[in-house]
């Protein structure tokens, strides 16, 4: 990262934390240069970038000011208390009908689970694919199927190391996206009928996997900013024979919550005391808006209890279907289960990503991606403030590409989903994020696509629909 980029990140951090408030004047170039010990040209470049990211704005003859954010008319939601204690799950039918509605490419994709592929370096990946395929020997194309491409595993291990969580290459199992890693991980540590602690609201795929494996959910409430309620989890662990825990410690889907380091450590200590393995879904690891990556719970794992699942699908290569599990003590079992079910992820996709990582430029791409998502979030928040009912509550995640809306209780999100779809707009209605189909007045909206006048118009239409309840 260049010096001015680091400096821009520092200032953006001050803005995010409110140290520099909306409307406030940003230190002049001379002041900043003196105060932070950087050259005036570094400050200039940083301010240009911050302006570009929409965080500050220049006023003629007055200097730079923190941009007026969407006025905080919409407050953040509170944690929802747990529903029932354990639940059989039957969410698939509903989730599938929502998902299949997303296949129409003409629809405004607020309901999508993927950021726009236009945000990714697809052409460069294609070149890496061509290069990788030229360099692989015929024997190599089948030799590494069981373990995954050696280069790719080393590159992933390197990124863990750079992130402060070194782990042995042997722990890494390359999978068909994070989804397969999560599936295999959960399957390795449970049997049908077992209880699994999950978040509420939770990523609907988690609910589907539990349903498929005939596991029972113990739903633990998630605070929209702080993440999963560790006290409630502790109480449940003490009382119920919970066999595994599946959660997202960072940029939780759908709330966007992230656990503090202290809470992560507390969570890990708790799970370790009960010897309950953690399946940690960290699909959005790279999509933080701040200047530093979050450490996963895996960071604190000293006995191999955490199966940390990552992916390139949301950070680099959508559709390539390459993810991994850092499987801890379960790595061997996960690898075998994979051999029995899909054998191996696509080798060309693996060599393409390995070559791309080798070439460098991943971090540069990620910074661009983060800035794009950050700016898109701001635009969706501003639009929601303009068009949605005043009582609406909305999260303010520090990364990712989802906002979670709590509408007034009179709103029926499933009804809204159907009416919005008729108007050419998809949303992800609240009930698909709950084992018990709670969150009937909530919805997850994605800002993963570049903001356009059409997005603005779609928000206005949603606002009109919301006004009818």
Nearer to a second copy, 146 or 238 (CB): 146
348 binds a second copy (CB under 8 A): yes
433 binds a second copy (CB under 8 A): no
Nearer to a second copy, 83 or 147 (CB): 147
106 binds a second copy (CB under 8 A): no
Nearer to a second copy, 273 or 343 (CB): 343
**Closest by alpha carbon to 152, among 166, 127, 131, 169?**
169
- What is the smallest separation between the CB atom of 48 and a second copy, expressed in angstroms? 28
135 binds a second copy (CB under 8 A): no
- What is the smallest separation between the CB atom of 356 and a second copy, expressed in angstroms? 13
d(CA 445, CA 109): 9
321 binds a second copy (CB under 8 A): yes
209 binds a second copy (CB under 8 A): yes
Near a second copy by CB under 8 A: residue from 49, 80, 200, 208: 208
Name 102's Cβ contacts closer than 8 Å, sequence gap at least 6. 109, 111, 112, 426
Q: Any idea what the Cα angle at residue 459 is, between residues 454 and 460, rounded to 5°?
A: 95
133 binds a second copy (CB under 8 A): yes
Contacting range for a second copy; rule: CB under 8 A; set: 175-183, 219-227, 289-297, 377-385: 175-183
d(CA 289, CA 55): 12
Contacting range for a second copy; rule: CB under 8 A; set: 2-10, 274-282, 339-347, 417-425: 339-347
124 binds a second copy (CB under 8 A): no
Near a second copy by CB under 8 A: residue from 39, 57, 75, 341: 341
Q: Total residues at the site for a second copy (CB under 8 A)?
A: 55
Near a second copy by CB under 8 A: residue from 36, 69, 145, 291: 145
**335 CB-side CA count, 13 A:** 17
- What is the smallest separation between the CB atom of 305 and a second copy, expressed in angstroms? 23
Near a second copy by CB under 8 A: residue from 244, 305, 347, 380: 347
- From the number of C-beta atoms within 10 Å of its C-beta (0-12, 13-18, 19+), residue 350 rates as buried
Query: Between 49 and 68, how does the x/- string for binding to a second copy read (CB under 8 A)?
Result: --------------------
- What is the smallest separation between the CB atom of 97 and a second copy, expressed in angstroms? 11
- What is the smallest separation between the CB atom of 144 and a second copy, expressed in angstroms? 8
Nearer to a second copy, 30 or 212 (CB): 212
146 binds a second copy (CB under 8 A): yes
Near a second copy by CB under 8 A: residue from 94, 99, 259, 305: 99
Near a second copy by CB under 8 A: residue from 169, 232, 339, 414: 339
Take residue 145 and report the two structure tokens written for it: 């199927």
Contacting range for a second copy; rule: CB under 8 A; set: 230-238, 271-279, 331-339, 426-434: 331-339
- What is the smallest separation between the CB atom of 20 and a second copy, expressed in angstroms? 36
87, β-bridge pairs:
217
**Closest by alpha carbon to 329, among 170, 164, 166, 109?**
170
d(CA 291, CA 309): 22
Name 97's Cβ contacts closer than 8 Å, sequence gap at least 6. none
- What is the smallest separation between the CB atom of 212 and a second copy, expressed in angstroms? 5
Residues that bind a second copy (CB under 8 A): 92, 96, 99-100, 103, 105, 114, 116-118, 120, 122, 125-126, 129-130, 133-134, 138-139, 141-143, 145-147, 176-177, 179-180, 183, 192, 205, 208-209, 212, 318-322, 336-337, 339-349, 352
């Amino acid at each position: 990262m260049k010096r001015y980029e680091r400096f821009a990140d520092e200032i953006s951090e001050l803005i995010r934390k409110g140290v520099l408030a909306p409307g406030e004047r940003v230190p002049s170039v001379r002041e900043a240069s003196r105060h932070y010990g950087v050259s005036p040209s570094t400050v200039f470049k940083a301010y240009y970038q911050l302006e570009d990211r929409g965080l500050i704005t220049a006023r003629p003859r007055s200097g730079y000011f923190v941009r007026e954010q969407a006025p905080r008319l919409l407050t953040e939601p509170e944690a929802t208390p747990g529903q029932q204690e354990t639940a059989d799950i039957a969410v698939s039918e509903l989730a599938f009908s929502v998902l299949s509605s997303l296949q129409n490419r003409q629809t405004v994709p607020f309901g999508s689970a993927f950021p726009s592929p236009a945000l990714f370096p697809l052409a460069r990946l294609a070149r890496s694919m061509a290069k990788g395929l030229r360099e692989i020997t015929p024997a190599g194309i089948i030799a590494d199927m069981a373990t995954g491409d050696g280069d790719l595993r080393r590159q992933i291990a390197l990124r863990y190391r750079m992130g402060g969580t070194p782990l042995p290459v042997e722990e890494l199992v390359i999978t068909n996206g994070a989804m397969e890693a999560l599936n295999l991980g959960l399957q390795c540590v449970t049997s049908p009928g077992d209880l699994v602690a999950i978040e509420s609201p939770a990523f609907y795929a988690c609910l589907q996997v539990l349903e498929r494996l005939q596991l029972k959910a113990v739903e633990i409430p998630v605070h929209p900013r702080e993440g999963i309620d560790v006290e409630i989890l502790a109480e449940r662990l003490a009382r119920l024979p919970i066999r595994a825990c599946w959660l997202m410690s960072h940029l939780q889907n759908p709330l966007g919550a992230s656990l503090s380091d202290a809470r992560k450590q507390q969570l890990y200590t708790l799970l370790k005391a009960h010897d309950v393995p953690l399946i940690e879904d960290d699909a959005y690891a790279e999509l933080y808006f701040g200047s530093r990556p979050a450490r996963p719970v895996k960071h604190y794992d000293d006995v191999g209890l955490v199966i940390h699942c990552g992916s390139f699908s949301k950070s680099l290569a959508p559709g390539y279907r390459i993810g991994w599990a850092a499987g801890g003590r379960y790595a061997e079992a996960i690898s075998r289960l994979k051999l029995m079910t899909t054998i191996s992820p696509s080798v060309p996709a693996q060599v393409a990503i390995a070559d791309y990582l080798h070439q460098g430029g991943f971090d540069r791409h990620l910074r661009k991606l983060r800035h794009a998502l950050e700016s898109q979030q701001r635009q969706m928040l501003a639009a929601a403030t303009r068009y949605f009912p005043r009582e609406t509550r909305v999260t303010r995640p520090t990364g990712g590409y989802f906002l979670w809306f709590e509408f007034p209780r009179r709103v029926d999100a499933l009804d809204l989903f159907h009416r919005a779809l008729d108007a050419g707009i998809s949303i992800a209605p609240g009930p698909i994020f709950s084992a018990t189909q709670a969150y009937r007045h909530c919805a997850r909206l994605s800002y993963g696509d570049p903001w356009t006048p059409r997005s603005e118009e779609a928000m206005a239409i949603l606002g009109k629909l919301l006004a009818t309840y």
